[in-house]
Amino acid sequence: MQLSIDRPVQSSHQKTPPKHRLATVFVLLASVLVSGVGTLSAQDATDETAPAWPVVTVCVASVDRIMDNIGYVFGDVERPEIMDLIGAGLANVRDLEGLDRTKPGGLMIFVSEGLIPLPIPVGFLPVSDIGELGQTFASMGAQLKLVPGEENLYELIPRRGPTNFLVVQDGYAFIGQNEESIDRTFASPEEFAGPLANRYDICASANLKKTPKAVRDLILLTIKNSAQASMQRRDNEPEAVYNLRRSQSEGNLHFVENVLRDGEELTLGFKVDQPAKNASLELIVKATPNSAFAKELKEGIAKPSYFAPAIDDSVPLSGSLSVILNKQARKTMLDLFKLTEQESNRGLAGLPKDTAVEDIPGLKSTQDLFDAVRETIKEGHLDGFVQFFGEPGEKFVIIGGIRIVNAGAFGSGLSEVIEKASRTNANINVELGVDSYGDIVFHRLVSNGRNPRHKQMFGDESALYFGTDNQALWFTVGGDDAIPTLRAAIDRIAAGNDAGPKRGELAPFQVVVNLTEWININQSDRDQPGRFAALALQAFEADGSDVARLDARTLKDGFRVRIQVENGFLRLLGLAVAGRIDGNQDL
C-alpha cells in the first residue's frame, strides 16, 4: 500500500467546521431506560468557535490497560501461556503499531442538524505515528490514502464495504462515515475521555450538561407524545388495571423528565481493581446542583433501617431496602394494591375474572390488611430485609421482615385471608397459632404441592411461618430451625436498634450473595459436582472470593447503582475461557 504521509501530524483539519445547532440526549431516552444505552447531548449553537464535544462517549481506557487486566486474570489462574496466544494474534496486526497504547480511544456520538436530531458516530484513536498506523490498517486488509489537496485528511478504504474518512488532530485520528461527520474541530479526547479513563476500563457516558435546553425540551415533547399514546385506556381494560399501568408509565416518564431537564451525567462503566482484587459495573446518574431532581434524589435517602442490626453480609444471601418513596412511586404502589385487593376479594368469593368491580364483595379481613398497607405507603418509608441462612451440605432457612404501619391489624387480616384461601385450595394447609415469641403469634402455611427443588433447598418438612408485632410482619421459611433462626434475628434487632448505624452507613438498597453455599446446596444430592460447579469451586477456593454485591447509594447530586464481584468471579472467567481455548485446540 502506498502512503504519502511522511509529514508530521498537524494540530487541526484545515477546512472550516460547519455551523452546529443542537444536540440531544440519548437517542431516545426511552430506550435508555429499557436497554441501558446512553443519552445524547449537543454542542451549544451560540458558540461556533468552540471545539465539538460529543454527546455520548464510549471509551476504552487504553490498549495497555486492557492487556494488563487480561494478563492479571490469566496469571491468577496460572495460565500465562494464554497471553502468548493473544500476543501472537496481535503480532498478525503489527502489535497495533501507530497507535498510542497508553491513551484512551473509542467512539463519540454527535447529532445532526434538523427538526429531529440523528446520531452521528465518530471513532477516535490515539496516534503515535500515522504512517505506522496506515501499515497496521493494511495488515487488516484496509487502505489509508491521503485525500488529494488536503492535509491530515485520509480515505480509509476497507477490503469490503463503504469508504470511511479519517482526519488527524492533536495526536488523535477521528474516523467518520463521510467527510461531513469529521469536518469540525474536535475537543481533545484528553478532556472528555481522560476523566472517564481514570475511573473505568471501559464505559459509555452521556454528556447531558452540554445539551441546549431547547433540544432537551424537543426530545422530552417527543417522548411525552409517544407515552401519552401508550397510556390510553384499551378496549375492555378494567379500570384498576388501567390505573396501575398508567401510574407505572407516569413514573417512568417522571424519571425521564427529571433526567432531561435537570440531568448532567449518565454513565455506565466497568473496571477491574487489581489491588483490591475485585471488579465492578456501575451506573451513575448526576443531577444539576440545587435542581428539583437533585432535591428529589437527596430526599430519597431513608432513615436507617429498623432491621439494620440483623443485616449480615456473610450469609449465603442478604438483602435490605430502606428508601423514601417519592410522590409518584406512592401513587403507583397505591394503584397496585388497589388492584391486588380487588383480585383478593374476587378470588376469595370464587367469582370469575371478568366480574365487574361493583359486583365484587368487600371483606373486613382484606380491608384490615390493605388499610395497613396503604398507611405504610402513605407514610412513604419502605423498609425491609431478607436473609438466607445455611451451611454447606445443609438446608437453607429464609428469614425476613417488613416494617408496616399498624402491623397488628395487618397480621390479623393476613391470617384470615390465607385461612379462607386454604378452604378453596387443596394444595394449601394453614395452621394458626403454632408458636409465639413475645407479642408475635406465628402461623404455619404448608403447600402440599411442593416441588423437588423446594425440598432440596429447605427440606421435606419445611413450611412458611409468619406473624406480626406492633412494628413489622416477620416471616421465615424452613424446617425445625426456621423459627429459632428468626427469633435470634429479632433479638439482635431489639438489642441493637437504639445503637443502629447512622444515616448513610447502610446502603438504601443492597443484595449480597456468597455463591459457594449455593453451589454446595445444589450439588448436595450428587456424588461428584457438575462441570460448572467444579470450575466455580476451584475459582472460589480463597475465603471471601465468592461474594457478589449489588447496591444503590446516593451521591452528591446523584445516585449510583453498582454490581461488585470479588476476585473469584474473575478467576472463574479466566478458567472458563482457558477451558474453551483448550477445547478448541484439541479439535
Burial label for 303, CB within 10 Å (0-12, 13-18, 19+), is exposed
Whether 555 maps to a domain, the answer reads yes
- For the chain, the C-alpha Rg in angstroms (whole number) is 29
Share above pLDDT 70 across residues of the chain, in percent, rounded to a whole number: 86
The residue with greater pLDDT, 418 or 198, is 198
359-376 tens-digit pLDDT: 889 888 899 999 999 999
Quick check: 492 and 309 in contact, CB under 8 A? yes
50-79 tens-digit pLDDT: 788 888 999 999 999 999 999 999 999 999
Whether 279 maps to a domain, the answer reads no
Do 517 and 474 fall into the same domain? no
CA distance 32 to 55: 14
Do 168 and 103 fall into the same domain? yes
pLDDT for the residue numbered 9:
36
Do 123 and 268 fall into the same domain? yes
Read off the C-alpha cell for 164. 470511511
Q: What is the DSSP letter of 78?
A: T
pTM (two decimals): 0.82
Do 350 and 242 fall into the same domain? no
Residues 6+ apart with CB under 8 A from 436: 442, 467
Do 544 and 396 fall into the same domain? no
Last residue of a domain, one of 507, 524, 553: 507
Q: How confident is the model at residue 451 (pLDDT cuts 50, 70, 90)?
A: low
Write the Ramachandran bin of 36: left for phi over 0, alpha for psi from -120 to 50, otherwise beta: left
Burial label for 478, CB within 10 Å (0-12, 13-18, 19+), is buried
337-341, 398-402, 562-566 — which is least confidently predicted? Answer: 337-341
**C-alpha closest to that of 69 among 284, 272, 262:** 272
Mean pLDDT of the region 370-397 = 87
Last residue of a domain, one of 468, 492, 507: 507
Range of 171-175, 203-207, 394-398 with top mean pLDDT: 171-175
Whether 121 maps to a domain, the answer reads yes
End-to-end CA distance of the chain: 37
The residue with greater pLDDT, 237 or 281, is 281
pLDDT of 266 above 80 = yes
Q: What is the DSSP letter of 187?
A: P
Mean pLDDT of the region 121-141 = 96
Whether 283 maps to a domain, the answer reads no
Whether 544 maps to a domain, the answer reads yes
pLDDT of 311 above 50 = yes
Do 467 and 527 fall into the same domain? no
Whether 286 maps to a domain, the answer reads no
**C-alpha closest to that of 475 among 522, 504, 442, 519:** 442
> Could you tell me the residue range of the domain that residue 562 belongs to?
294-301+510-587
Whether 4 maps to a domain, the answer reads yes
Do 566 and 493 fall into the same domain? no
CA distance 9 to 4: 12
Do 379 and 524 fall into the same domain? no
Question: Backbone phi, then psi, for 337, in 5-degree steps?
Answer: -75, -20
Do 527 and 573 fall into the same domain? yes
pLDDT of 114 above 50 = yes
pLDDT for the residue numbered 7:
35
pLDDT of 220 above 70 = yes
Into how many domains does the chain fold?
Answer: 3
pLDDT for the residue numbered 419:
84
Mean pLDDT of the region 556-565 = 93
pLDDT of 377 above 90 = yes
pLDDT for the residue numbered 5:
40
- What is the total residue count of the chain? 587
Quick check: 403 and 329 in contact, CB under 8 A? no
464-516 tens-digit pLDDT: 999 999 889 999 999 889 999 999 999 998 887 655 444 445 678 899 999 98
CA-based torsion, 55, 58, 62, 68: positive or negative = positive
Do 140 and 234 fall into the same domain? yes
1-53 tens-digit pLDDT: 334 343 333 333 333 333 332 233 333 332 332 222 333 333 444 455 678 88
pLDDT of 579 above 70 = yes
CA atoms within 13 A on the CB side of 154: 26
pLDDT of 211 above 50 = yes
99-113 tens-digit pLDDT: 999 999 999 998 776
Q: What is the mean pLDDT of the chain?
A: 84
Whether 280 maps to a domain, the answer reads no
Q: How confident is the model at residue 308 (pLDDT cuts 50, 70, 90)?
A: confident
Do 547 and 501 fall into the same domain? no
pLDDT for the residue numbered 309:
87
pLDDT for the residue numbered 449:
64
Last residue of a domain, one of 507, 528, 557: 507
Do 312 and 268 fall into the same domain? no
pLDDT for the residue numbered 556:
87
136-145, 213-222, 360-369 — which is least confidently predicted? Answer: 213-222
CA distance 527 to 186: 63
